[in-house]
Amino acid sequence: MTDFDEIRPYHDDELPIVYEELIADPAFRSIATTAFPQIPYDVLIRQMRACRTKLEFQKKFCYAILTGIESRTTQGVTLDRTAQADNTAAAYTYISNHRDIILDSGFLDIQLVNQGLDTVEIAIGDNLLIYPWIKKFVRINKSFIVQRDLPMRQMLESSQRLSAYMHYTIGRKQQSVWIAQREGRAKDSNDRTQDSLLKMFAMAGEGDVIDRLMQLHIVPLSISYEFDPCDFLKAAEFQLKRDNPDYKKSKSDDLLNMQTGLTGKKGHVHLQTAPCINEQLAQIDRSQPKHELYAEVAALIDRAIHAAYHIYPVNYIAYDLLSDTDTYTDRYTRQECHHFADYLYHQLARINLRDKDIHFLREKILQMYANPLVNHLNALHSNKS
């Protein structure tokens, strides 16, 4: 399938050449020796060259890196797939909320491996491929490229190719994929699926829009971080955009977000799948206008993600602090409240802005932790009605 060469992961038979390109790159050597300080670089090279498949490379190298990050920065990562127990498709499209640039899909992969399952192919925006070695590394790590910031005509062609690749991967390769529900992270944790993503899904495949969506076997996935290491960076970005509507993040900002997300403390992390939505898709009115249909499917995915959130004491505390109420004091202890207040103080202190608006920044961080609770409760209420 040469039409996909520009965006697909490497084929296994291409790996030896790519390994040599990485080995020759001083930047990759620096990263590799930092990630595996206990292993001499020549030994690392031999181990890399011995990996014949992408999955073997993932288990040998990526798994070790990610489990190390998990042990250093979390109090445990869990994945509950019991809602998928009755699903019988060979491959799924996991569509999730988006908190961390790298670790959302990374934590999913290591939990799948822990459960004896195959890893997923990962959709990654080309804006994150800052250095040549990163693009090579992620394509070894079963990532496919989402091209962004293209002229209108090229963007349409790119979206059609991406859609065709996803249908090919699910239907022909029978390989599951992961993709975020929107371009970029929801900075305020108010997670919503973009209609444009669903339109891209339905560009390829056979039949009408619903048929094409069903062919991707969409499984909503909720990712719940107790603490978001990038919360202070996101809050700062809110103020920068408020003060300058033309503000845009730089590549160095993306790199800082990636580094902070990787190294910062996250507390507990829980991943929860909902059932595949095909049964619900089959009940949708196919004759309605397409924009209404896409909006209904997006809302369906959102409710599934919101209902499956794991709610932590910090979410209840943030809601009460934001609304200046004691609505949920039975859901947390005084010690937990003091701990969160101390955490909030220190995160705000890390923000380095010239005209720092503490009240605004505090409110934005509180919203990040309160919004999952608000959406969770609304989803549960909607599911009951």
Chain position carrying tokens 């507990």: 268
Tell me: the pLDDT tens digits for 271-299? 999 999 999 999 999 999 999 999 999 99
Q: Where are the domains of the chain?
A: 2-226+266-310, 230-247+257-263+311-385
**pLDDT greater than 60 at residue 335:** yes
The contacts of residue 187 (CB under 8 Å, 6+ apart) are 234, 237, 238, 368
Residue 195 in tokens: 């209609």
Convert the pLDDT of each residue in 47-88 to its tens digit.
999 999 999 999 999 999 999 999 999 999 999 999 986 667
Q: What confidence score (pLDDT) does residue 384 get? A: 77
Q: Residue 174 corresponds to which tokens in the numbers above?
A: 């029978």
- The values of phi and psi at residue 350, to 5°, are -80, -10
Q: Helix, strand, or coil here: 297?
A: helix
Which of 24-33, 156-165, 249-258 is least confident? 249-258
pLDDT at 43: 94
Lookup result for tokens 């989803």: 379
For 316, how many CA atoms within 13 A lie in the half-sphere containing its CB?
Answer: 15
Instruction: Provide the pLDDT confidence category of residue 123 given band limits of 50, 70 and 90.
Output: very high
- Tell whether domain 2-226+266-310 is in CATH 3.40.1130: yes
How buried is 241 (Cβ within 10 angstroms: 0-12 exposed, 13-18 middle, 19+ buried)?
A: middle
How confident is the model at residue 62, as a pLDDT?
Answer: 92
255 — pLDDT class (breaks 50, 70, 90)? confident
With contact defined as beta carbons under 8 Å apart, do 273 and 94 qualify? yes
Per the CB < 8 A criterion, the answer to whether 233 and 262 are in contact is: no
- Alpha-carbon distance of 235 to 225, in angstroms, equals 17
pLDDT at 159 over 70: yes
Residue found under tokens 């859901």: 331
pLDDT band at 89 (very low <50, low <70, confident <90, very high): confident
Q: What amino acid occupies position 359?
A: H
